[in-house]
Each structure stands twice: as structure tokens, then as C-alpha cells.
Amino acid sequence: MAKTRQQKEAEVREVVTGLTEAKVVVMADLSPLKVSQSTDLRHKAREQQVKVRSAKKTLLKLASKSAGLEMDESALGGSIMLLLGYGDEVAPAKLVAELRKEHKELIIQGGLLENKWVSREQILALSCLPSKDELIAKVVGSVAAPLSGLVNVLQGNIRGLVYTLNAIKNSKS
């Protein structure tokens, strides 16, 4: 059954909202995937605060124009799956790159980062970056390393004093 004009307008509004509110949008042709693989992708995406939705190319063009976004329409083809990242900027790109390792037929078409069009190559480069949590862990480790070194040095002096006092006690007894 064909969609009515109101249904299409509502879908365009939803896509506009997703495109403008998401930190990063990755567009891919997921038509080669089986239903079970697509369902697994949606479950993994939900865990990482990534919303997955499909969109027709014409409705996506209308949504991008009404949102004031410039996209490379020549890069878009087939059925388009939008991965909208609301949390970590790297999560949708990592998710698609991980899926692409298993399924070589998956085509990344491009995306939007900070409301600017990025190519397929830039999305793949984005997927190689560490996630926000990994970066925070590295910073905390970098800050904690000198402090733990200082604690070990101070403990070494105290430990040496204890060994010396223990040796004196043993020699007198």
C-alpha cells in the first residue's frame, strides 16, 4: 500500500529532527543484509545510543533541504539506512565498520558530522578513532601514572626504614 502525503510529510519531519539533533549521521546501503543481521545491528546500535532508521532517497533529499544541510546526493544510492549517533560521535561509524568487516557487500555512502557532509573515506577514518570512554580512560591513566609513581617512591623510603629497623632488632636479639 502506498504512503499518503501526510505519512510522507511526517516521515520527512522525523528525518529532519534526526538529522539536526544527531551529533553524527552515517548513511549506508544495508540492503545486502539479511533480516536477522539487520536486527542484530539494531540491538547493538540501541546499546550504544545509536538510532537506526531507513529512508527513501527522495524523502532524505527533501529532509536535508528543509534542514538546511548540504549532502552529496550522487553518493547516495539504493536503500539508505541512517545511523543517528546521539551519544558518542564515533559509535555509528565504528558500528558500521565492524559490520562491514563481516559483510564486505555493505556499502557506506557517507554521512554528516556537525551538520557537514563527510565522505565514505572520512567515515572509515572516523571509525578508527578511539571512543569517548577510551579517551577518558587514557587521560585518567595519564594523570594517575605520576601520582602512583610518587606513592611508590615514598613507600620505598618507608619500606627501607622498616627493613633497617627490623635488621637492627634481629641483630640485637
Q: Are 13 and 98 found together in one domain?
A: yes
Digit-coded pLDDT (tens) for 49-86: 888 888 888 888 888 888 888 877 777 776 788 899 88
33 touches 41 (CB < 8 A):
yes
Q: Are 107 and 94 found together in one domain?
A: yes
Q: Are 94 and 159 found together in one domain?
A: no
Other CB atoms within 10 Å distance of the CB of residue 153 = 9
Q: Which residue has the higher pLDDT, 149 or 120?
A: 120
Q: Are 95 and 64 found together in one domain?
A: yes
Residue 1 has what pLDDT? 66
Q: Are 135 and 74 found together in one domain?
A: no
Amino acid at 141: G
Cα gap 160→166, rounded to integer Å: 10
**Which residue is associated with the grid cell 591513566?**
141
Give the CATH number for residue 69: 3.30.70.1730
Cell of 119: 565522505
Domain that holds residue 151: 130-173
Mean pLDDT computed over 3-7: 83
Question: What is the tally of structural domains in the chain?
Answer: 2
Q: Are 143 and 119 found together in one domain?
A: no
Mean pLDDT computed over 138-146: 85
**Which residue is associated with the grid cell 613507600?**
155
Backbone phi, psi, residue 100, to 5° = -70, -30
**Looking at the predicted structure, is the pLDDT value of residue 138 above 70?**
yes
Q: Are 121 and 135 found together in one domain?
A: no
Other CB atoms within 10 Å distance of the CB of residue 112 = 24
**Looking at the predicted structure, is the pLDDT value of residue 42 above 80?**
yes
**Looking at the predicted structure, is the pLDDT value of residue 31 above 70?**
yes
Burial of 74 (0-12, 13-18, 19+ CB in 10 A): exposed
**How many angstroms from the chain centroid is the CA of residue 161?**
52
Q: Are 114 and 163 found together in one domain?
A: no
- Bridge partners (DSSP) listed for residue 58: none
* pTM of model > 0.85: no
